[in-house]
A and B are shown apart, each in its own frame.
Chain A
Amino acid sequence: MGDYIIEAKGICYRYPCGKDALMGLDLRVERGSKLAVLGANGSGKTTLFLCLNGILRPQSGALCVQGRPVSYARRDLLEWRRRVGMVFQEPDDQVVAGTVMQDIAFGPLNLGLSHEEARMRATDVLHSLQIEHFRDRPTHELSHGERKLVAIAGVLAMRPELVILDEPTAGVDPAGAEQVLEVLETIHRQGTTLVISTHDMDMAYEWADGAAILVGGQTWCQGPVTDVFADRAALRGARLQSPWLLEVARGLQAKGIVTDGAQTIRSRGRLLEMLAGAREA
């Protein structure tokens, strides 16, 4: 039995308007892992995340954080949200204050920290994300990508153990996306568990340890990334595409250039290495 930081069993959620978004969904997030949650639009990813953060309360099913069933009492919710941070897809939903410093301090202040401590935490986070120059800038002057970074910073200032990000690279230019991924790498190295949802199959394949595919409000499959992505039929059924890296690696494997198995090539760099090596041989 792994150490699961968060575990969902058979959760069902129906929106007030009648839409069934989650229909018996299971998910396990192992501590220290990087999980990519994949699925077509409408498969329930965002609803799932809102349930994992306690914003939506499933009508049925079990949800455990650190092995203990969740409680929706005010004090417990606060502790839950301190442990499990959520970064929304739309940064304007999350960047609520007029200046960056004010916004990043929002979470810590809500947790009851003093003004000085909140300021210190905000300064720390700005430093570790290398965005100190944002400190006193008005939030409305930031670009979409910059606002995403501030949204992430705001959650990190609460020192969560698990950070859930809903489409962290959506709508961001390549340089911005790279910056976001670097930030995720930094916090993962510090021990934070990460869960992201994304449409970018290539990014998910390179980045994640584990993957879960959602279809129609249920988990179709969950497991190590190589296993999940290996099943072409499953991907197609879930209206997802196979990552190009995997396809190219498979092609090279067929040609005999790749001998260790297509799934050993998990990055562009590794592929290029392999090709360079093959050319010399």
Chain B
Amino acid sequence: MHLIDCYAYTNRWQTRHPAEKAAFAGGLLALSLILPLAGSLVVLAVVSAVTLGGARVPPRVYLRTLAIPLVFIAVGSLSLLLSVSFGAQGVHVGLATDQMARATRLLGRAVAAASCLCFLGLTTPALDWLPLLRRLRVPSVIVDIMFVVYRLLFVFIERLAAMHTAHEARLGYASVRSTFRSSGLIGANLLVFALKRARGMEMGMAARGFGPEIPVLPLECKPSRAVMAAVVLVWLVVAVIGLAVQRWFDG
């Protein structure tokens, strides 16, 4: 299980305030849903350029990450070209070639939106969202749990990998039956490990005076006014260009 968070710690924009990145990607994400096809493609181009050129995420990493949602998006979009209806003669399945425009618009929109998500995942360590969530008045119990989940994810993944290797060394995945058995044992062991970890962390936190809430340090930097203004400008430019190009295509 590979968490793309690791790239977030090494990219050029790791220390930029998450509000800037959220505004950029969030705004373009919204635009990709609202604008016509040309608009989505402009969004995709802009986000890709910024991710590769601005944040300097390695191209292979970006493409591999974008490829993850692509299967579902492709299958889903292609399915729009299929038509299923129930009539007097029973089920009718056919090709709906008149749905091509709809399908391509969906494909473009989804890929553009996915690129926005990948941008966020690849440039911002997930933990950086927590102070922002606190600011947005998300209930503190939820933010606290997210804090703990994040920390434990890596501990559990490491543990799962170790157990998996141990099972594999003893041919735990040689047959369907043994695969089930191994996965079952690992699942159970992982839960017990999880409960133990929770208890251990409880004591560790108590030793450092843990009180009613998990304190989270706010981020040191503040969102730059200039950057936020630039982000808004980007939204406007993308919207205008997207609409203009679409007009040109339709006209």
Contact = CB atoms under 8 A, between A and B. Distances in A.
A139 B9 CA distance: 11
Given A98-B150, A119-B217, A138 B205 contact: no
A270 interface: no
B200 A92 contact: yes
B127 A155 contact: no
A107 B215 CA distance: 9
A78 interface: yes
A111 B204 contact: no
Interface residues of B, number: 31
B125 interface: yes
Contact of B208 (A81, A99, A137, A138): A81
Given A106-B208, A110-B211, A88 B151 contact: no
A242 interface: no
B215 A109 contact: yes
B155 A92 contact: yes
B204 A97 contact: no
Contacts of B158: 140
B207 interface: yes
Given A82-B209, A101-B217, A110-B211, A140 B127 contact: no
B235 interface: no
Contacts of A107: 208-209
Contact of A81 (B154, B209, B220): B209
Contact of A110 (B126, B201, B215, B220): B215
Contacts of B54: none
Contacts of A136: 9, 15
Contacts of B207: 53, 55, 81, 85-86, 88, 94, 155
Nearest to B208: A107
Contacts of A158: 208-209
A42 B126 CA distance: 41
Nearest to A118: B217
B200 A93 contact: yes
A140 B147 contact: no
A82 B150 CA distance: 27
Contacts, number: 97
B151 A98 contact: yes
A96 B204 contact: yes
A77 to B, nearest CB: 8
Given A105-B217, A119-B217, A155 B208 contact: yes
Contacts of A101: 217
Given A97-B151, A109-B215, A138-B9, A50 B203 contact: yes
A97 B209 contact: no
B197 A102 contact: no
Contacts of A53: 207
Nearest to B200: A93
Nearest to A53: B207
A90 interface: yes
B50 to A, nearest CB: 23
Nearest to B220: A119
A109 B6 CA distance: 27
B135 to A, nearest CB: 14
Interface in A94-139: 94-99, 101-102, 105-107, 109-111, 115, 118-119, 136-139
A54 B215 CA distance: 21
A93 B204 contact: yes
Interface string B118-160: 0000000111000000000000000000011011001100100
15 contacts: A77-B209, A81-B207, A85-B207, A85-B208, A88-B200, A92-B155, A92-B201, A96-B148, A97-B127, A98-B151, A102-B216, A102-B217, A105-B217, A139-B151, A140-B154
Interface of B: 5-6, 9, 15, 125-127, 147-148, 150-151, 154-155, 158, 197, 200-201, 203-211, 215-218, 220
Interface of A: 50, 53, 55, 77-78, 81-82, 85-86, 88, 90, 92-99, 101-102, 105-107, 109-111, 115, 118-119, 136-141, 154-155, 158
4 nearest CB pairs, A to B: A140-B154, A109-B215, A93-B200, A110-B209
